[in-house]
Amino acid sequence: MRVEIWSDIACPWCYVGKARFEKALAAFPHHDRVEVVHRSFELDPTRAKDDTGPVVPMLAKKYGISEAQAQAAEDNLGTQAAAEGLAYRTRDRDHGSTFDMHRLLHFAKAQGRQGELIQALYEANFAEEASVFGDDERLVRIAVAAGLDADGARTVLGDPTAYADDVRADEREAARLGATGVPFFVIDRTYGISGAQPAEVFAQALTQAWGERSPLTLIDQGGAAEACGPDGCAVPQS
């Protein structure tokens, strides 16, 4: 069974939702037969690479609230994150373009390290002091910590076209599936789950999707045709 997760590194609910989903997945009896794929979704795809700024004033402006209210929302997110065992800095975080991070995640997927990198990026953005925005060498160090080759990561970051089509394809697919925000979870292209739902919701969805998988239908045109197997290949009879 495959679970696809559309998310953005700048999205705190994606950080929390990932932890809740993984809690449900760890308790799922068939977890070793579930493939998890992380897909790209930029909250602001028009953002320039060098356009960075503090989170709280941005939230206040975006939602038409006071900075005190925006800070209270950040404090609430910190509480929600802590309940999932996640570190979360509620003060002095910044925000910016995540396009290069998504390109790196596709590079990591090709290297079999996507899960490690997305977790490292989340922790770097939400729990660590150094910014992840506008600093290629900072991203290279994060990639190396996730098990990727430094030169390979540096090459990807130095070429703005590398994996760009993969990012845009993910975003088009999200739109096709009706996702207007993240996190957005799709289980076996049958169930869609929007938002950082409680672990119990994910557990129920995994169980239901597993139980409703269609069994394989064999087509036999009047008898088994020749085939190869563990004992060798059928010998044609004259």
Tens-digit pLDDT profile for residues 30-40: 999 999 999 99
**Model pLDDT for residues 96-124, shown as the tens digit of each residue:** 999 999 999 999 999 999 999 999 999 99
Contact 24, 58 (CB under 8 A): no
Tell me what percent of the chain is helix, strand and coil, each rounded to the nearest 5.
Answer: 50, 10, 40
Mean of the per-residue pLDDT values of the chain: 93
φ, ψ for residue 76, nearest 5 deg: -65, -40
Contact 68, 35 (CB under 8 A): no
Rounded-to-integer distance, Cα 176 and Cα 189, Å: 12
Are β-strands 228-229 and 232-233 bridged in parallel, bridged antiparallel, or unpaired? antiparallel
Q: Does residue 94 come out as left (phi exceeding 0), alpha (psi in the -120 to 50 range) or beta?
A: beta
**Amino acid sitting at position 23:** K
pLDDT attached to residue 213? 81
Q: Does residue 38 come out as left (phi exceeding 0), alpha (psi in the -120 to 50 range) or beta?
A: beta
Evaluated on CA atoms 54, 59, 60, 62, the torsion sign reads positive
The answer to whether residue 219 scores a pLDDT higher than 90 is: no
pLDDT attached to residue 106? 98
Q: Structure pTM? A: 0.89
pLDDT attached to residue 215? 66
Instruction: Give the burial string for 157-186 (b: 16+ CB within 10 Å, else e).
Output: beeeebbeebbeebbebbeeeebeebbbbb
